[in-house]
Amino acid sequence: MNKGKALRAGDTIGVVATSSPATEEVLVKSIAALEDFGFKVKVSGTCRETYGGYLAGTPQQRAFELNAMFADEEVDGIMCMRGGYGAPQILNYLDYDLIAQNPKLFIGYSDITALHSAFGQHASLATLHGPMATSDIAHGLNDWTKQYLLRAMTRPEPLGKIVNPPGEEISCLVEGQASGQVVGGNLALVAALMGTPYQVDTKGKLLFLEDIDEEPYRIDRMLTQLALGGLFDDCAGVIIGTWTDCLPKKRDGFSVLDVFQNIVVPYGKPTLWNVQIGHGTTNMALPFGVEASLDATGCELTIEESVTV
């Protein structure tokens, strides 16, 4: 896999708007927070654009500026401004050869799942599923989240064992051991990519999933789509993150855990539950496209390879 360099104090982070817009007030806060981390910040033009009410510029504009950030020799790493909606729109406009030839640490999650999958498959780029500028960093990260993010960004070494914060236990849904590259991300986006050239490739890999604001019946539908598409047949193991505000409306309705037990557990793949990665208060950085080992019996996930050089 291609990898960007580990970032150092004084390096420049390019902030890009690949999806939905943000307010100027929150953007300014995010820039100040990144500068407090010790980085310089370069902001793409669409970070201050709104198109159609829910997009930060046209698909072509957003793709052009993301391509430009990879080509810009002054930019050392790239962080998405926020998620929301719109990243899948730009996939056909990206220059994957350019990106492969200019690898940089690329950070984001949620809607950015589409870009993680596209970069991994079409530019062989290892990426970082982690907090973003206006949606997270502008509002302050808790110590656990900040620690994992900065370690992944600045140290060219494996993250090692992923440890939840106190009070949040990782549990096992299916016992066993597995290893492989980590792929996946937000369930809604993984489902949306099915049947496209950017579909998440799970063959021999560890599939990570998380989501927010989805009722269990909708999660059931999306997991069923992944199952029918062969993703659980192909994967080596499953890492289940956080499910923020995903409660059933009916008292007797299935919970998210019930849905995973009904759909995913029967595949018999080693499966971890409640890894604190996703839209929750804690969102630990998780490298994609690098080797990891999963010991579901011991409730452990270990990142064996660095996402940077």
pLDDT at position 133 is 99
Domains observed in the chain: 12-140 (3.40.50.10740), 160-303 (3.50.30.60)
What are the distances in angstroms from CA 169 to CA 13, 173, 274?
33, 13, 7
Q: Which residue is listed with tokens 């579909």?
A: 199
pLDDT digits (tens, 9 = 90+) for 187-205: 999 999 999 999 999 999 9
Cα angle at 116 between 276 and 206, to 5 degrees?
Answer: 55
Question: If DSSP codes are grouped into helix, strand and coil, which group holds residue 31?
Answer: helix
Question: If DSSP codes are grouped into helix, strand and coil, which group holds residue 227?
Answer: helix
Active site members: 110, 210, 279
Q: At what angle do helices 216-228 and 256-263 cross, to 10 degrees?
A: 20
The number of residues in the chain equals 309
Q: Mean pLDDT over residues 157-185, rounded?
A: 98
Q: What one-character-per-residue DSSP string does 90-133 give?
A: GGGG--HHHHHHS--EEEE-GGGHHHHHHHHHHS-B-EEE---T
pTM of the model: 0.97
pLDDT of 181 above 90: yes
Q: Tell me which residue of 178, 230, 235 sits closest to 207, measured CA to CA.
A: 235
pLDDT of 250 above 90: no
pLDDT digits (tens, 9 = 90+) for 67-122: 999 999 999 999 999 999 999 999 999 999 999 999 999 999 999 999 999 999 99
pLDDT digits (tens, 9 = 90+) for 19-47: 999 999 999 999 999 999 999 999 999 99
Q: Mean pLDDT over residues 285-299, rounded?
A: 99
Q: Bigger pLDDT: 271 or 250?
A: 271
Q: Mean pLDDT over residues 291-309, rounded?
A: 99
When the pLDDT of each residue in the chain is averaged and rounded to a whole number, the result is: 98
The percent of residues above 70 in pLDDT, for the chain, comes to 100
pLDDT digits (tens, 9 = 90+) for 47-63: 999 999 999 999 999 99
Q: Mean pLDDT over residues 114-135, rounded?
A: 99
CB 275 within 8 A of CB 130: no
pLDDT of 251 above 90: no
Q: Which residue is listed with tokens 């502008």?
A: 138
pLDDT of 4 above 90: yes
The percent of residues above 90 in pLDDT, for the chain, comes to 99
Cα gap 291→309, rounded to integer Å? 14
